[in-house]
Amino acid sequence: MSRNASVSTGQIVTAPLVTRAGLSVRSLSFGLTLVVVSYLVIVPLITLLYASVKSTEDKLPFETTATTLANYALVFSSPATPAILLNTFLFTVGSLAVGLPLAIIFAWLLERSAIPGRAWVASLILVPMTIPSLLSAIAWIQLLDPRIGWINVALRSVLRLSADAGPLDIYSLGGMCFVQGLRLVPSAYLMIAASFRAMDPSLEEQSAMAGRGVTQTTLRVTLPIIRPALLAALIYYVIVVIESFDIPGLLGFTARVRVLSTAIYWATHSEVGLPDYGLASALGTIILAMALLLMWFYHRLTTHQERFATITGKGYRPRQINLGRWTLPALSLCVIYVFIAVLLPFVMLLWTSVQPFYAPPSVESLGRATFDGYVNIWRDSSVMRAIGNTTALAIVTAVATMGLSVLVSWFVVRRRNESGSLTGYLATVSFLPQGVPSIVIGLALIFVYVRFPVPIYGTLWIIALAMTTRYLAFSSRTTTSALMQVHGELEEASQMAGAPWFRTLRRITVPLLAPAMVNVFFWVAVHAMQELSMALMLYNPDTVVVSTMIWSMWQNGRTADAAVLGVMLTLLSALLLLGGQLLSYLRRNS
Amino acid sequence: MKIVGHTFAWTLRFILIIVSVFVEIATIHAQEKSKSPANDAIAQLYAGAKKEGTVVIWGPTDAIIYQKAQAVLDKQYPGIKIEHFESIPEPLVQRIIAESQAGKPSAVDIIQSGSLRALRPLIDRDMLSVYPGWEKNFGLDAVYAGDRFVGAYNLTLPISYNSKLVSAKDVPKSWEELTDPKWKGRKLIIEARLVPFAMLGTEWGKSKSTELVKKILTQEPIIAQGGTTVAKALAGGQVSIAVGTYAYTIEGLKKAGATVDWMPVTPLPVLTSAFGVLKTAPHPNAARFFAGWMGSTEGQKIRYETSGQAIEVGKNAIGNVADRLKASRPTIILETEKNFAAIFEIQRELGRLLGALR
């Protein structure tokens, strides 16, 4: 079967020949993957569904409470619901409209074009992901606040406006979409970039030989080929935006834009007593239903997955396109993004870390600047413990999630024709945790592990388990879409040469998936370093992590100390990312 | 001259005798006092605490406060080690309930929260022990829910302002003045949970406070989560007026050089942070002793000097917030077990204005 045949005819890849031993190892791995993923996902999922039909006002879901559909009735009968759903839709569409095109453009520029300073831009583009979300959102307010936001002050000065506020108002639906969209770019870029990197350039060359320009080739050849990755990113980020609360929480209350996550926030942050898990779970179930619907569409749209396979056994050699006269505009776009999304928020974070209280930059506030926070922070005995725990947690979670995702993806993509329903189940189940609110995952794990004789309760392992569950959706989406582009014939060849399944996976599949795996590793590690909701539910004095420390310091009014830790966390994460990018770069060049 | 010298010597002798008598009386009084039943009870409690050796406390207090408390405790009451787990009370309360239901009671003695209401689930489930000794022996008046809680500190919720942006005469002197059109358009920041307005509702009635919030929302205020974020916006000049941050936070910012201040409007909501000792506490004597000691003037001073937090109302009140409250004498709406159900109901109603469904 030739490469072109696989692209043009949509011929189904045959199941590779395997030895008896290979089959047993593979079947065992498949069974094990099914069990592990089911176990990880089903515990919080059952908690979610169970809690959604319990009357949980002032009760935990597992206390004796009546079974009822009142939570759903409340959601669907509330006069606020239509506006909430409409706002959620607009916020999601708006954020994706800002974030995804930028991510696609950056992925193409940095993976397929010969843009100068590629390694640097590729690393810098990821930095916004490393700034803790609370501090990042506050930095954006400091930049775009109508009265004192640096950008607004600068614009008023440049445009000679006499008003004392504006012209931009971050407290609006537009402002929310802009900030949320920018925050999506690094993660979406990571998800899409691996697919661009794995593309066979000969398809584009053929298009060029047929007389199509760069734009035509991109629209008619490149984008259709990476459709699985684009769809995966689109579906994933629809759910991410619907579920995210950082931006709606900081800007949406003021903008009076209520979304689904705002309603979940109110249900889970009861000022008196216990969270209203029933209502929160009913709302979570709605998000889950949306996730399932989107997964169904995804499956339909990627049914003939082999059409997207571009890495085959013949002539796979990624190549960069010369941008010619577009080099300068492309580079300018990257620089502008880095300036707006990376430099400005980071400078704001640094500024906050040297101020006893926040004040806009002036001679007076400059005089108050102090680096005491950077010295004093080490006097807190738990800081070193928190840094150690955070690093361990990030590595364990990233390795576990990455390993599991590769297995999930392999079985979903390669065994689709053999065990359709089971692989369909695996693909769907691995995506579902994205629809379960973090606080529900935390509670489910407390409930289960406080009873089960598995000695992980109160250790870092339980937090790692919660995070692995949570990040499985992103990582399996990323590795699945990347694997779809790797044709099965490479593995067939290996196995026909006598290599057992696991060796083939290790020696052929994993190296080809390496770009996606590196992305998954760093994405998960950075997110694990910053995760707060589950950590707050599950940590104890021995398992304190940096995110919970930042949060505590902020709540106690130690804003400068929180910013100092934020700067350190950002630098630590950025170092990790830069290390990853450097590894990728060295690997590519070797 | 001789007579004068003689008289002077006798006067001096007389004064010395009087002073000696007073010193003797004071010593006897002090000894009597130290032998009083209250002090005996505290001494007995301390002996039990020392035997237990440790007190485990979960709550939102900054770790530095307990580090300083440990240093003082080691000198005055040696033998008690403070083990502190800093976190917000809500997940802690859930964990305590879940662990208790699983038959594995949490290894914690004291649960503390920034507001009394957050600990309500533990009262509902009868998980807190009763200790009348806080009032009887330690002489504390900030004791709640049938001797289940002792006050740790208060959080006064005034109207705060940026004194660089607002002149003293323009500062709102009442809650209703927040609806003045001059505060329209992102000049006002309010904390998203709307606690002060819910507490005002217990004094005014639900409908009046709901109407007030509705009117304030038409002023296009900035709505932020958390008292720190609110205070930060005020100090940074992002807004002129703030509601939902604490008086002690504003005092701290003032001390650091920020141009902020607060207005003790009447009625004035005041939250209660309290310690509660769990029935399953592994170190019950240490817990009761430590909670009582932290609530006493001595413990208060450590907390106040480290963080600015203190008991701000009642007979044990200390600090500059308490001084200003004593001077201005506003009507205080203090959070207690008697009004937290009402506060909850009003807060739920107000939450709907910001997107809550229930």
Q: Tell me what percent of chain A is helix, strand and coil, each rounded to the nearest 5.
A: 75, 0, 25
Q: Considering only alpha carbons, which residue of chain B is nearest residue A143? A: B238
| Mean pLDDT, residues A476-484 | 84
Of residues A3 and A382, more confidently modeled: A382
Q: A292: buried, middle or exposed (CB in 10 Å: 19+, 13-18, 0-12)?
A: middle
Instruction: Write the pLDDT tens digit of every residue in A334-366.
Output: 888 888 888 888 888 888 888 877 777 778 888
Q: Helices in chain B by DSSP H: which ranges?
A: 2-34, 37-52, 63-76, 89-101, 120-124, 133-136, 195-204, 206-217, 227-235, 247-256, 284-295, 297-307, 320-328, 340-353
- Note the pLDDT of residue B28: 58
Answer yes or no: do A272 and B117 touch at CB < 8 A.
yes
Which helix (DSSP H) or strand (DSSP E) does residue A315 occupy? none
> Which percentage of chain A shows pLDDT scores above 90?
9
Of residues A17 and B88, more confidently modeled: B88
- Please name the member of B90, B120, B238 whose beta carbon is closest to the beta carbon of A147: B238
- The nearest CA of chain B is from the CA of A9 a distance in Å of 52
Chain B interface disruption, residue of A134, A358, A438, A552, most B CBs within 10 A: A358
What residues of chain B lie within 8 A of the CB of A138, using their CB? 229, 232
Q: Which of A44, A61, A437, A533 is nearest to A278 (CA)?
A: A61
Helices H, strands E: what count in chain A? Answer: 30, 0
The alpha carbon torsion through A103, A109, A112, A113 (nearest 10 deg) reads 180
A356 touches chain B (CB under 8 A): yes
Which helix (DSSP H) or strand (DSSP E) does residue B184 occupy? none
Task: Find the range with the poorest average confidence among A36-40, A310-314, A366-370.
Answer: A310-314
Q: B141: buried, middle or exposed (CB in 10 Å: 19+, 13-18, 0-12)?
A: middle
Answer yes or no: do A253 and B120 touch at CB < 8 A.
no
Q: Which residues pair with A113 in a beta bridge?
A: A321
Answer yes or no: do B86 and A165 touch at CB < 8 A.
no
What residues of chain B lie within 8 A of the CB of A382, using their CB? 63
Token reading at A54: 């319990």
Q: Considering only alpha carbons, which residue of chain B is nearest residue A264? A: B356
Token reading at B125: 């489930």
- Note the pLDDT of residue B260: 95
- Note the pLDDT of residue A161: 82
- Note the pLDDT of residue A191: 79
| Mean pLDDT, residues A24-28 | 80
User: Measured between alpha carbons, how far is A369 from A540 in angstroms, rounded to an integer?
Assistant: 34
User: Measured between alpha carbons, how far is A441 from A446 in angstroms, rounded to an integer?
Assistant: 9
Total residue length of chain A: 590
B102 touches chain A (CB under 8 A): yes
Q: At B257, is the secondary structure helix, strand, or coil?
A: coil
| Mean pLDDT, residues B31-49 | 77
- Note the pLDDT of residue A1: 34
| Mean pLDDT, residues B7-13 | 72
User: What domains appear along chain B, each with residue ranges and CATH number?
Assistant: 41-153+272-318 (3.40.190.10), 159-263+339-353 (3.40.190.10)
Contact in structure between A289 and A84 (CB atoms under 8 Å): no
**What average pLDDT does chain A have?**
80
Give the count of alpha carbons within 13 A of B34, CB side only. 5
What residues of chain B lie within 8 A of the CB of A274, using their CB? 90, 93-94, 97, 121
Q: How many CB pairs below 8 Å do chains A and B form together?
A: 185
Query: CB within 8 A of B143, min separation 6: which ones?
Result: B134, B135, B149, B150, B151
User: Measured between alpha carbons, how far is A376 from A561 in angstroms, rounded to an integer?
Assistant: 8
Q: Which of A465, A464, A437, A448 is nearest to A48 (CA)?
A: A437
**What average pLDDT does chain B have?**
89
A80 touches chain B (CB under 8 A): yes
Instruction: Write the pLDDT tens digit of every residue in A34-92.
Output: 999 998 888 888 888 888 888 767 777 777 677 888 889 988 888 888 999 999 999 99
Whether the predicted pLDDT of B291 surpasses 90: yes
Of residues B37 and B49, more confidently modeled: B49
Whether the predicted pLDDT of B34 surpasses 70: no
- Note the pLDDT of residue A59: 76
Whether the predicted pLDDT of A12 surpasses 70: no
User: Measured between alpha carbons, how far is A484 from A304 in angstroms, rounded to an integer?
Assistant: 10
| Mean pLDDT, residues A321-327 | 80
- Please name the member of B85, B252, B343 whose beta carbon is closest to the beta carbon of A541: B85
Chain A interface disruption, residue of B116, B337, B340, B358, most A CBs within 10 A: B358
User: What domains appear along chain A, each with residue ranges and CATH number?
Assistant: 3-589 (1.10.3720.10)
Instruction: Write the pLDDT tens digit of every residue in A393-425.
Output: 999 999 999 999 999 998 888 876 666 678 788
- Note the pLDDT of residue A588: 64
> Which percentage of chain B shows pLDDT scores above 70?
93
- Note the pLDDT of residue A559: 77
Answer yes or no: do A557 and B252 touch at CB < 8 A.
yes
- Note the pLDDT of residue A468: 93
- Note the pLDDT of residue B156: 97
Q: Tell me what percent of chain B is helix, strand and coil, each rounded to the nearest 5.
A: 50, 15, 30
- Note the pLDDT of residue B234: 93
- The nearest CA of chain A is from the CA of B156 a distance in Å of 15
- Note the pLDDT of residue B32: 54
Of residues B35 and A547, more confidently modeled: A547
Answer yes or no: do A541 and B228 touch at CB < 8 A.
no
DSSP state of A419: S
Instruction: Write the pLDDT tens digit of every residue in A170-206.
Output: 889 999 999 889 888 988 888 788 777 766 677 777 7
Answer yes or no: do A81 and B357 touch at CB < 8 A.
yes
- Note the pLDDT of residue A420: 66
User: Measured between alpha carbons, how far is A273 from B43 in angstroms, rounded to an integer?
Assistant: 36
Whether the predicted pLDDT of B49 surpasses 60: yes
Task: Find the range with the poorest average confidence among A356-360, A373-377, A429-433, B182-186.
Answer: A356-360
Answer yes or no: do A275 and B94 touch at CB < 8 A.
yes
User: Measured between alpha carbons, how far is A444 from B65 in angstroms, rounded to an integer?
Assistant: 33
User: Measured between alpha carbons, how far is A253 from B307 in angstroms, rounded to an integer?
Assistant: 30
Q: At B162, is the secondary structure helix, strand, or coil?
A: strand
Answer yes or no: do A539 and B87 touch at CB < 8 A.
yes
In the structure, what pLDDT confidence band is assigned to residue A288 with cuts at 50, 70 and 90? confident
Task: Find the range with the poorest average confidence among A257-261, B172-176, B199-203.
Answer: A257-261
User: Measured between alpha carbons, how far is A128 from A138 in angstroms, rounded to an integer?
Assistant: 13
- Note the pLDDT of residue B323: 95
Answer yes or no: do B84 and A541 touch at CB < 8 A.
yes
Query: CB within 8 A of A274, min separation 6: which ones?
Result: A56, A58, A59, A60, B90, B93, B94, B97, B121
- Please name the member of A80, A271, A382 whose beta carbon is closest to the beta carbon of B344: A271
- Please name the member of A74, A272, A442 whose beta carbon is closest to the beta carbon of B120: A272
Whether the predicted pLDDT of A116 surpasses 80: yes
- The nearest CA of chain B is from the CA of A398 a distance in Å of 26
- Contacts with A, B 204-263, CB within 8 Å: 217, 220-229, 231-233, 235-239, 249, 252-253, 256-258
The alpha carbon torsion through B286, B292, B293, B299 (nearest 10 deg) reads 130
Instruction: Write the pLDDT tens digit of every residue in B85-114.
Output: 887 787 788 888 888 888 888 889 999 988
- ipTM for the whole complex: 0.75
- Note the pLDDT of residue B2: 52
Q: Considering only alpha carbons, which residue of chain B is nearest residue A548? A: B87
Whether the predicted pLDDT of A11 surpasses 70: no
Task: Find the range with the poorest average confidence among A206-215, B115-124, B325-334.
Answer: A206-215
